[in-house]
């Protein structure tokens, strides 16, 4: 692995050396390295590209890293990763994709991740997407995440896409059973001519099920963003979705909430706020000695922290 690839790996998965625990590193469309543990198995799919990550029931305090890096221009990579989390397991999964495209062809990665969380299992899922490159080739990522939460399961997803991805369509669909909880924190920043579309669709099917879907984004230059968040309350449940966006320059942001209550005890809330950086925020930081540009940078960085 060369230094560009190592830097990508460090950025998307915080991997600086050989990671501890289970991992599967995919580079330029091929397996680079893999490690499994007594409780975490990683198996290559036979019918299509991708892996199954199988976590034994009761596994506690273990982690899995499954980063993907692409440094070849013109490479389009499609993978199917299925996660099977056993009952009562409690694990952290770090995924992520970094593209360094220094050529003039489009490079892309479409990851389709499916999570099956068994009863009372708990997962923290961290996903980071970045792109670099000094050529004219575009970096494209279209991640799809499908989530099935069994009774009492808990999934917390932290996803971020802060720079360098020219086009993205992020789709997340979830089914939430009795007393299960889904928490999503998404951070997005687009610049230049980029487009980021993000679409959540959550079915709160179980008694006492809940979902909290929060997106924070910054759109700069001529970039465009579209946020669509649908929550269906099909039982006695609580759903909350929030889109909070800072718009700059000539950017465009669309937020579309779609709440459907199909049950008398469904409680659903949507909040959306889109606006430029408040003038008083800039002025406050300028009275502390920052220039307007420095103030703007601090506000944006803090917002996406």
Partner 1 sequence: MLELKNICYEVEEKKEILHDINLKIDDRFIAITGPNGGGKSTLAKIIAGIITPTSGQIILDGEDITGKSITERANAGISFAFQQPVRFKGLTVKDLLTLAAGKNTSVSEACQILSEVGLCARDYVNREVNASLSGGELKRIEIAMIIARGTKLSIFDEPEAGIDLWSFNSLIKVFEKMYEQNKGSILIISHQERILNIADKIVVIANGQVANEGKREEILPSLLAGTEYSTCDALKG
Could you give the CA distance from residue 140 to residue 203 in angstroms, rounded to a whole number? 28
Q: How far is the CB of 241 from partner 1 (least distance, A)?
A: 17
Determine the 3-state secondary structure of 136 from DSSP.
Answer: coil
Q: How far is the CB of 270 from partner 1 (least distance, A)?
A: 17
Q: Give the HSE-up count for residue 127: Cα atoms under 13 Å, Cβ half-sphere.
A: 23
* Residue number with CB closer to partner 1 (136 or 291): 291
Question: Shortest CA distance to 59 belongs to which of 137, 130, 127, 118?
Answer: 118
* Residue number with CB closer to partner 1 (256 or 283): 283
What DSSP assignment string belongs to 49-114?
SEEEEEE-TT-EEEEEEEEEEE-STT-EEEEEEEEEEPTT-EEEEEEEEEEE--SSS-EEEEEEEE
Determine the 3-state secondary structure of 10 from DSSP.
Answer: helix
Could you give the CA distance from residue 286 to residue 282 in angstroms, rounded to a whole number? 6
Could you give the CA distance from residue 70 to residue 75 in angstroms, rounded to a whole number? 8
Q: What backbone torsions phi and psi does residue 64 show, to the nearest 5 degrees?
A: -130, 130
Q: How far is the CB of 181 from partner 1 (least distance, A)?
A: 22
| Tokens of residue 218, six digits | 């910054």
Q: How far is the CB of 199 from partner 1 (least distance, A)?
A: 23
What DSSP assignment string belongs to 114-135?
EEEEPTT-EEEEEEEEEEE-SS
Could you give the CA distance from residue 151 to residue 265 in angstroms, rounded to a whole number? 19
* Residue number with CB closer to partner 1 (16 or 276): 276
* Residue number with CB closer to partner 1 (148 or 294): 294
Q: How far is the CB of 268 from partner 1 (least distance, A)?
A: 21
* Residue number with CB closer to partner 1 (2 or 291): 291
Strands 50-55 and 40-44: antiparallel
Q: How far is the CB of 129 from partner 1 (least distance, A)?
A: 20
Could you give the CA distance from residue 194 to residue 168 in angstroms, rounded to a whole number? 8
Q: How far is the CB of 187 from partner 1 (least distance, A)?
A: 10
* Residue number with CB closer to partner 1 (193 or 292): 292
Q: How far is the CB of 58 from partner 1 (least distance, A)?
A: 34
**Site for partner 1, rule CB under 8 A:** 216, 244, 278, 280-281, 283-292, 298-299, 301-305
Listed in sequence order, the residues at least 6 apart from 135 whose beta carbon sits closer than 8 Å to its beta carbon are 73, 101, 102, 103, 104
* Residue number with CB closer to partner 1 (38 or 288): 288
* Residue number with CB closer to partner 1 (120 or 298): 298
Ranges of H-type helices in the chain: 3-13, 279-286, 292-303
Q: How far is the CB of 300 from partner 1 (least distance, A)?
A: 9
* Residue number with CB closer to partner 1 (104 or 292): 292
């Amino acid at each position: 692995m060369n230094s560009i690839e190592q830097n990508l790996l460090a950025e998307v998965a915080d991997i600086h050396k050989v990671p501890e625990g289970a991992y599967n590193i995919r580079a330029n469309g091929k397996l680079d390295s893999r490690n499994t543990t007594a409780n975490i198995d990683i198996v290559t799919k036979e019918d299509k590209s991708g892996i199954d990550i199988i976590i034994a029931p009761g596994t506690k305090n273990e982690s899995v890293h499954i980063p993907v890096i692409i440094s070849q221009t013109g490479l389009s990579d499609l993978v199917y990763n299925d996660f099977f989390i056993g009952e009562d397991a409690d694990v952290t999964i770090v995924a992520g994709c970094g593209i360094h495209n220094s050529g003039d062809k489009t490079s892309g990665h479409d990851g389709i991740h499916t999570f099956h969380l068994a009863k009372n299992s708990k997962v923290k899922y961290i996903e980071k997407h970045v792109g670099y490159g000094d050529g004219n080739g575009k970096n494209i990522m279209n991640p799809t995440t499908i989530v099935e939460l069994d009774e009492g399961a808990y999934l917390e997803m932290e996803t971020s896409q802060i720079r360098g991805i020219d086009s993205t369509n992020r789709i997340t669909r979830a089914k939430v059973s009795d007393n299960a909880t889904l928490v999503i924190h998404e951070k997005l920043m687009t610049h230049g001519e980029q487009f980021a579309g993000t679409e959540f669709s959550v079915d709160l099917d179980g008694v006492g099920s809940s979902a909290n879907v929060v997106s924070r984004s910054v759109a700069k230059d001529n970039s465009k963003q579209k946020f669509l968040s649908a929550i269906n309350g099909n039982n006695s449940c609580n759903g909350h979705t929030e889109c909070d966006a800072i718009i700059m320059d000539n950017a465009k942001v669309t937020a579309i909430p779609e709440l459907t209550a199909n049950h008398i005890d469904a409680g659903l809330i949507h909040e959306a706020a889109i606006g430029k950086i408040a003038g008083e925020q800039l002025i406050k930081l300028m009275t502390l000695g920052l220039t307007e540009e420095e103030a703007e940078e601090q506000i944006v960085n803090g917002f996406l922290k």
